[in-house]
Structure formats: structure tokens, C-alpha cells
């Protein structure tokens, strides 16, 4: 099984780029842009996300988030990425690979959000296309999974444009905006991307 585990002492430094986008792990210096975009987009994101902690947009909350991210990366559990336009370094959203499972599974689950001013402009589709080769390459995953609420048509389009196959419905799968919601489950295999 050790063959399938990335070395915890030296997690990979991942900064995929392409299609005019740069994806990288969040840093302390990102707080202002991140909190501004999340705050501006709160009403837009609320129907699709878990309830935000009361201190979510505070500097202290962001520092706690960064500490958790650092631990997750070190332990090969999750890899968060902020999405920036390369031309002006403007933050447009984020993708997180979470629930990384190694051994005979070699999979992880992606979740993502885009700020309201950037919605519907193709940023998330392009960002996912930039990230997927890294997930299957450097991180050596066999399968990437995603889930979206049955009414989240834009998210379904993103996944389907990137080659994900809808595999079924999970009843009351995640607690989103305080309500247990049914979700479509999507999957993409390494060979799907290569094909």
C-alpha cells in the first residue's frame, strides 16, 4: 500500500496554470481579496454551501482555515486551490480536492465556488480543466468525484463539460444551507481524461 501514498514529509507544491488562470494554495496575503469576494458573493453562494460560521470572513477565521489547510496538505487529505486570473491576479473562486483516499481507492472529491461577479463566464470550467491533469498526474489519483444539488444546473454543466459522468443520486447527501439535500453524484476516471 505504501506505493500508493504520497510522502507526508514532502507534500507536492502544486500551482497548475493554463487558460489564463493560476491555481495555488491560499496564503495569508490572500485574506483581503478572499474575504471581499466571499462577502460580495454571500447571497449568491448561500443556496449551494453549508452554513457559514459566524466568523467565517474574519482574519482570525481565515488564519484558522489556513492552518487546517496546511495540516490537510501535509497529511495528504485535501488540497485547496484559489483561482486567479494571471493577467491581473484577481481572485475569481476556488476549488478544493478533499476526502483524498489512498490504498486501493486512489480518489478524492472536488468542491468549488466562483464569485458572483465571475459566474457564467467559463472560469470554473477552465480552472477544472487546468487542475484535473495535476490531480491525475502529480497526485496520482485514479478517480475524482463531485456532487451537486439537483437544481444546480451551472455546476452540472461545468462537470459535464469537463468529462464527468453522472453516476446516480445520493439521497439527503450533504447538509447545504441548513437542509439535507439530494445530490447528483459525478465521477471522472484517469482514463476518461486521457481518452
The CATH number linked to 105 is 3.40.630.30
Element housing 37 (H / E): helix 31-40
Task: Strands of 17-57 (E only): list them.
Answer: 17-18, 21-24
In a domain, 161, yes or no: no
What are phi and psi for residue 161, nearest 5 degrees?
Answer: -65, -30
CA-wise closest residue to 143 among 101, 106, 194: 106
In a domain, 183, yes or no: no
In a domain, 2, yes or no: no
Task: List beta partners, residue 110.
Answer: 97
Task: State the pLDDT confidence band at 4, using cuts at 50, 70 and 90.
Answer: low
In a domain, 69, yes or no: yes
pLDDT at 12: 63
In a domain, 92, yes or no: yes
Task: State the pLDDT confidence band at 195, using cuts at 50, 70 and 90.
Answer: low
Distance between CA atoms of 49 and 51, rounded to whole angstroms? Answer: 6
Residue 128 in this model has a pLDDT that exceeds 90: yes
In a domain, 4, yes or no: no
Task: State the pLDDT confidence band at 119, using cuts at 50, 70 and 90.
Answer: very high
∠193-93-127 over CA atoms, to 5°? 20
In a domain, 133, yes or no: yes
In a domain, 80, yes or no: yes
Domain hosting residue 16, numbered range: 12-140
Task: State the pLDDT confidence band at 193, using cuts at 50, 70 and 90.
Answer: confident
Count up the domains in the chain and report the number. Answer: 1
Of all residues in the chain, the percent with pLDDT exceeding 90 is 91
Amino acid at each position: 500500500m505504501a506505493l500508493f501514498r504520497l510522502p507526508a514529509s514532502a507534500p507536492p507544491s502544486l500551482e497548475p496554470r493554463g487558460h489564463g488562470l493560476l491555481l495555488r494554495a491560499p496564503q495569508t496575503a490572500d485574506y483581503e481579496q478572499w474575504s471581499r469576494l466571499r462577502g460580495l458573493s454571500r447571497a449568491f453562494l448561500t443556496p449551494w454551501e453549508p452554513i457559514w460560521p459566524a466568523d467565517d470572513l474574519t482574519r482570525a477565521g481565515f488564519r484558522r482555515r489556513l492552518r487546517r489547510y496546511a495540516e490537510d496538505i501535509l497529511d495528504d487529505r485535501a488540497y485547496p486551490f484559489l483561482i486567479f486570473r494571471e493577467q491581473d491576479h484577481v481572485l475569481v473562486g476556488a476549488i478544493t480536492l478533499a476526502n483524498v483516499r489512498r490504498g486501493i481507492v486512489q480518489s478524492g472529491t472536488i468542491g468549488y465556488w466562483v464569485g458572483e461577479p465571475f459566474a457564467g463566464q467559463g472560469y470554473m470550467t477552465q480552472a477544472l480543466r487546468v487542475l484535473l491533469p495535476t490531480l491525475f498526474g502529480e497526485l496520482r489519483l485514479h478517480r475524482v468525484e463531485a456532487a451537486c444539488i439537483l437544481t444546480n444546473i451551472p455546476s452540472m454543466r461545468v462537470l459535464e463539460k469537463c468529462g464527468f459522468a453522472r453516476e446516480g443520486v445520493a439521497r439527503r447527501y450533504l447538509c447545504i444551507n441548513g437542509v439535507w439535500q439530494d445530490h447528483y453524484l459525478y465521477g471522472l476516471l484517469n482514463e476518461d481524461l486521457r481518452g
